[in-house]
Chains A and B, each alone.
Chain A
Amino acid sequence: MSERKYKRQDKVPLPPPDAKVFTTACDYCIVACGYKVYRWPVGKEGGLKAKENALGVDFPVSPLSGKWVSPNMHNVVRADGRLQNVVVIPDGDSKVVNVGGTHSIRGGCIAQKVFNPETPTKDRLQRPLLRVGGKLTPVSWDTAFDIMAKVSKHVLDTQGVHAWAMKMFSYHYYENTFALTKLAFSYIKTPAFAFHDNPSVAPDTPGFRDVGFDNFSASYEDWSLADVLYISGTDPYETKTVIFTHWILKGINTHNMKLIYALPRKTTGVAHAEATGGLHLWLIPGTDTVLHMAIARVILENGWEDKEWIAQFTNNKWGTDSGFGQGTRNTQWQWRTTWGKLETKGFKDYKEWILAQEESKLDVAEKITGVPRGDIVRAAEMMAKPRPDGSRPKTSIGIEKGNYWSNNYLNTASIGSLALLCGAGNRPGQMVSRFGGHQRGGRKGGRYPMEKSPEKYPGRRRKSLDLDRWVEAGNVRFCWCIGTTWVGSMTASQAMEETFKRSTVANPHQIRRKDAKHAVEVLKQRVDNGGMMLVFQDIYLRQPLGTKYADLVLPAATWGEEDFTRSNGERRIRLYSKFYDAPGESKPDWWIAAQFAKKMGSKGFNWKDSNEVFEESARFGRGSRTDYYPLVWLAKKKGMRAHELLRSMGTEGIQCPIRYEDGKLVGTKRLHDSTLKLPEGGPEGPTIWPKFLTAFKSQTGKANFIKSPWSLFSDFYEWFKPKGDELWITNGRINEIWQSGYDDMERRPYITERWPVNFMEIHPEDAEARGIESGDWVAAENDRVPVQVSGFYGVQPNDFTFTELMKAGHIKLTKARINAVALVTPAVRKGVAWMYFLDPKQPANSLVARVVDPLTNNYRFKLGMGRVRKTGESPYKRSLEEMSFARRDIA
């Protein structure tokens, strides 16, 4: 049971009229709703009348006012050296994103995230810690940097840059990602680098890239403008809350927009879609490619494709051949091209290919996907069948992890080609994008040194390094993990923890005294002896790397504790204001990177504050999707700090790429926008007009039809899929915990009461066969988790297929077991169980293969599998206080 209980309050303090107001955005999911923070000293309260409170409204407030303060929106912080009340409330005046102050459960509770030693946040890291004799012991920042720099130099001198690794978040504000990647790529220049959600530096949705779609081309408004919205591998109700509750519901309520969901599970959003004339394609995990191909076949056989649009906006043979739309030499795309299995000579070639595929036939597709053929035909009709008057339905497509994290290349390529048949991708209400996961705050401070990567595709082309496999192979000697739960968030988690243990605490060379010189000597001996020095940097001591294995733990400052900037899923950049003091000696990540770099002797990290980092970073993003250089340029012209100019735009911010036109900054609503009118005089001042403003991201600006041969994936799929009494044990997220686990799962009693432990949704028939009832403890066991331990070089064309990797001995089989509380519900398919993805104690990823998609070096995170058995009754089975077993798929 969770130790810390949610305490109900029946009153809340209101900010008085003289409260200080700060603007920010929610720290959690991609949507990034606008918020205001009201801060005032403890001991004072505002009154009920509009003139007596800072919100300027009479209390009680009316429904939908956007001005109600719930008890979870209040907290007490230390700022300017004194205790102060804060109310963090969705911006009720917002005209964008969360219009009128609507919000998710996560953002609505974000006030509980801030450090307050009277709350469960009291375990925030506050000082650098060195593991001495197995115990984490406080040391000064200077000592920490001294040890890190000396061991780093030793590793770089004796082993080279390949032995110096960094694993970091890719999104936690432009200032931090820029400083850290500048360190890794421009100063150290290591290829041993990966962001939090991939084992290597790889594109999330490579198929989209090959077709020519930018991941975040749509604006949120586009999700309300379609007639039909095909949603693949996610329920935006659960994980893009305000996109669903404001923008998608607006489309349903104003012009009867229909939703098609491709998901192995029924959720609240799916239930609502079905109740409003939509469709649920209830597929077996990992089979989306076949589903897309079958829908495409129905469209093609009936001639429902958007012929005019295809002729105008997609490549013919010559266009496709111009470097596969992407450039010609030594790129991943070219490798895919030379393989000869993916590129087409344009629409006609694609059509012939689809019609020749066994898997696209309705009866075969029905068998593989589990989706009834009638539903496949219905989906094709809804998406592409012209109306009697000849007009076409406006179709948009949004995808997320269930799509591209179950079959990375083929799913994204096949849905991209399907989108082209529907004429989607470059106009209002007819867009194709990711819905998004975390916010977009990545800015690379240098180039990934691909030429140094030891990995190679068959042929001559290099491939970015798979850091997990590199660690597994014992090649990393200095390892710096920043703001991510590396083990639990990658695959075959339990096997990976063993690897870290072996390299750190199980190595004979351990620090015994709190003495920097001794620590450096011991760590040098360890790295010479095949071990690793591990540095862990975060806001909390996360398990297992922080709690069990790190030699040094560095405390980071975060949201609300420093002025930061970040963009959301429609490329909207805002300033996230500092409004209280960071706990103890914790420091923002950019500062930590800079101090380390200076200790190493670098001269390129002399920033005074986060604004200086931001201004420098702008030069590295010119011409990109999130180009904010014109903002920084204009601020300088006005004699302002760039952060201040952005602050003046409040919660509205501005959509990147930012342009400068007629003396004003202009945002970009959508990318690939064929309706966008750019000034006739050409780009002005610092403005860059990348091709993708009005055309697709390809050599010609036209989109590519891509093939998706099932055989590239099917050997792995057939081997891995459940046999006998095994079940698919796929994973996903829920509305109540989404991009917020570090707060919600561990430190927010309101949420831990709802979800105290990881859980498993299981179909009633599967449950009955195993004697399982809701509330029972179940064990999920997989005794054949494949882990690729070697195989960095491809020589023959098929070297990286699963079959060949197995034959060559590059894959070892490991075992995993995790526990969960059962939730018996017909909302999951028979044969499929579903768990929450990132529980730190019971990571569902343990059941997932650590074998990458060989085309892209991405994992198939959603394909977990194992046996399920009852191990007892949990206390929640009969408690009426914690954990609800009620169904969520209710409309």
Chain B
Amino acid sequence: MSTARYSVGIDLGTTHCVLSYLDLTSADEQALPTVLAIPQLIEPGLIESRTQLASFVYLPHQAEISEGATALPWTAKAEHLVGEVARHLGSKTPIRLVASAKSWLCHNGIDCKQPVLPSEAPEDVSRISPFTASQAYLQHLCDAWNHQFPEHRLQEQNLTITVPASFDPAARELTVEAARSVGLGQAMLLEEPQAALYSWIESNHDGWRDQVTVGDVILVVDIGGGTTDLSLIAVTEQDGNLQLTRVAVGDHILLGGDNMDLALAYTVKAKLETQSGKRLEPWQIQSLTHACRVAKEKLFIQPELDNIPLVIAGRGSSLIGGTLRSELNREELNRVLVDGFLPVVSISDQPVSRARSGLRSTGLVYAQDAAITRHLAGFLSRQLGAAQDLPGIASAEQASFLHPTCVLFNGGVLKANSLSERLLQTLNQWLANEQAPAVRQLQGIDLDLAVARGAAYYGFVRQGKGVRIKGGLAAAYYVGVETAMPAVPGLPPEIEALCIAPLGMEEGASLELPNEEFGLVIGEPVKFRFFGSKTRREDEAGTRLDFWAEDELDELDEIEITLPESGHQPGEVIPVHLSVTASEVGTLELQAISRRDGQRWKIEFDTRLAELI
């Protein structure tokens, strides 16, 4: 990419997107990435530039918006209404609002290219797919950039898009594909917790080397608007230089700041309803949620305040008569948020998961246990051996969980001191119980913008100008293979899990499994069950598992291949073996290779059939 002038980072978030950039030609090596002010409609007819683009799409009725009211500086009529205008209109008409599209990308059981959103929309709203929504955000960001830098089009810049560390291969592939479809085929993927750490490195310049030493294990806790993302990064040494290796990532936990605001709103709602004896209407709850968010921020910032009055105005033009009054006090805030989301738990606690009801809906799989500390305890216990093979990482005798030595917080939620302190206290308590030293907190990043900034800095690093975090695959991947056993009536055939890609497989590496042969029928779709494991480190490509503990392997969506008929007879069986590549971009590529002539076919992740709908 010799024409690239800028390194651009896009934080494609669940609730908002941020774009940040760094001038690669700048002589100032210490220059901080700049955050782009993104022009967006805030209401029909009004355009404003904001650093965050709200990740919402609104699907208006044709009579709803007057002609020309959706013009943007670069187009007379945008294809989709995205940004603040979508959130604003959608707050009053939720049936037409597409939200959290990103979480749907990582949702097992739906085809992300099928129009399924908004999931609650009535028949005559023409829905869009989660993929289209992601495309719309990227298109808007791309247009905004090209409008501001017509000389340096985004298509020609060094581009990094961040994804949650917990994104599965299909979701990563969909993100890259969405970028490709708007002309951003050069985009690289970067895990969000890594981006946060890059932002920390960049903001500390060379000083970061004095703050960590060989043997440190950095825990990155990123609590955003919609998701909680956990990663462990080990500090090792090579040729006298400090090296960073991402050794483990957590599960995809749909739990974040929005859940907290909602929890507060429902607390106040219960209080209001007992006082007044009347049920609140949906719009009142919405307005209450908004008021709670504002009150929460105030209470967190000003520790001397004890309570904040909450007022919900009526919707009519009579303001004074129609208000509902309540208040949010510190005791409620602590009980609901600090104790509710970050309870003091023991390290042996696991997230509670209730059995799902028999009728599976197609909604998002929100975390069932709201206790982030329990998710963290589960993660650290499961990852006990994550860093044991690395040189210089001393694992304590009889440790029951992996002992981090440093912690980096990211995400708007952790701006609240009482929340980050509680998290730190709990973590240190676990460590103290096992006679381990307390963690050091790494500081100096902007908790809202760090991911985008770190992503911009990553482009700089990719040019060999700074330390690079080694990662590799965050999980090992397996396909389900039927065992050669006589069929037992009434029982599904036993399957074995064949490891096709080991955990930590390096970017750019490629491997083949010549000994595992499959017969594929021309013209017929063949499906494989597909599994991932974030803990099985010792499995190599070709390992077959006939038994595994329930929490070791997560079943992902099936992968599918259909061999085209070109050059073959329909019904013909072709023997193939599999090839796996961990691409530089950050995706996993699966191919079937014909034993006869070496022809290759791509195996798709994204043909998720909507069987459940």
A in complex with B:
no
